[in-house]
């Protein structure tokens, strides 16, 4: 109930019961709110309605999911994009983090980290989406005139989320990725810009994947990049995942 958006008819009574104290004859909502002690303002709100069906499939990037691990390895080895970013999410010691690494020839890698918080408030699925948001942000801040870019992601569920109604926990991050992707696409449309999000199987020896996995584990232990380097959406604490309550 804490995840109900403001336009839901139960949003107001749930919040009213949470903030009001009653000495006698407390109702079920008040008992539940006092037991869970959840700050509804910090919990992610799930939209009441799904995306416009006519907009499904209209993405600011293309999504590639190879048939199997072998095909994924071949695509990763022969990826033609000028800029390649690898990303991952991880949970370590009860904490969750994400990373993204932009690999450029003859230049240092660009790396971003974000520590999401404890597993009691966030999931690895969220971390995978945060990694994608970090990756798209890195591409957007890259000053080179590259026209083709790719993001390697080892979690198929995170990629498939973009063709869903985006009404599940963690999908607020996917909606932000779409908005950022659209802004970048508009800025670079004159240069025939193309972004591909590609499933790249993990733990099969792909160097970029292995490095992203290692950096995501560092983020899980508490490492975050400086705030000014992060996407604006990630410069404040993320909403708590309602699945964790």
pLDDT value at residue 21: 61
Asked if residue 238 lies in contact with residue 122, where contact means CB atoms within 8 angstroms, the answer is: yes
- CB 191 within 8 Å of CB 70: no
pTM of the model: 0.87
Kind and range of the H or E run holding 78: none
With tokens 């591409």, the residue in question is 139
pLDDT (tens digit, 9 = 90+) per residue, 83-134?
A: 899 999 999 999 999 999 998 777 788 999 999 999 999 999 999 999 999 9
Alpha helices in the chain (DSSP H): 11-19, 28-36, 69-77, 124-141, 156-160, 171-188, 207-220
> Which among 227, 196, 220 is positioned nearest to 128, based on CA atoms?
220
- For 12-54, the pLDDT digits (tens) are 666 655 555 666 656 666 666 566 566 777 888 888 777 777 7
Backbone φ, ψ for residue 92 (5° rounding): -140, 125
User: What is the domain partition of the chain in residue ranges?
Assistant: 11-42, 53-244
Residue 219 to residue 92: CA distance in whole angstroms: 9
Specify the 3-state DSSP secondary structure of 17.
Answer: helix
Which pLDDT band holds residue 1 (cuts at 50, 70, 90)? low
Burial of residue 147, with CB atoms counted within 10 A of its CB: 0-12 exposed, 13-18 middle, 19 or more buried: middle
Q: pLDDT at residue 155 above 80?
A: yes
Assess whether pLDDT exceeds 60 at residue 237: yes
Rg of the chain over all Cα atoms, to the nearest angstrom? 20
Cα separation, 77 vs 97, whole angstroms: 27
Architecture of domain 53-244: 2-Layer Sandwich (3.30)
């Amino acid at each position: 109930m804490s995840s109900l958006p403001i336009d839901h008819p139960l949003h107001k009574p749930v919040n009213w019961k949470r903030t009001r104290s009653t000495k006698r004859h407390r109702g079920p909502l008040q008992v539940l709110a006092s037991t869970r002690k959840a700050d509804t303002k910090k919990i992610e709100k799930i939209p009441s309605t799904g995306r416009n069906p006519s907009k499904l499939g209209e993405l600011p990037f293309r999504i590639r999911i190879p048939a199997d691990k072998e095909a994924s390895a071949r695509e990763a080895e022969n990826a033609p994009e000028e800029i390649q970013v690898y990303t991952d999410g991880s949970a370590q010691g009860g904490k969750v983090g994400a990373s993204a690494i932009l690999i450029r020839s003859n230049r240092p890698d660009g790396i971003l980290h974000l520590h999401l918080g404890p597993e009691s408030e966030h999931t690895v699925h969220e971390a995978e989406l945060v990694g994608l948001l970090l990756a798209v942000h890195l591409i957007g801040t890259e000053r080179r005139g590259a026209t083709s870019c790719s993001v390697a992601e080892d979690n198929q569920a995170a990629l498939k989320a973009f063709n869903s109604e985006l009404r599940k926990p963690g999908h607020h991050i996917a909606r932000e990725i779409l908005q950022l992707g659209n802004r970048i696409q508009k800025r670079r449309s004159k240069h025939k810009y193309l972004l591909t999000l590609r499933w790249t199987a993990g733990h099969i020896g792909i160097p970029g994947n292995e490095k992203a996995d290692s950096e995501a584990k560092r983020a899980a232990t508490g490492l975050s990049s400086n705030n000014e380097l992060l996407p604006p959406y990630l410069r404040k604490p993320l909403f708590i995942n309602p699945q964790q309550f």
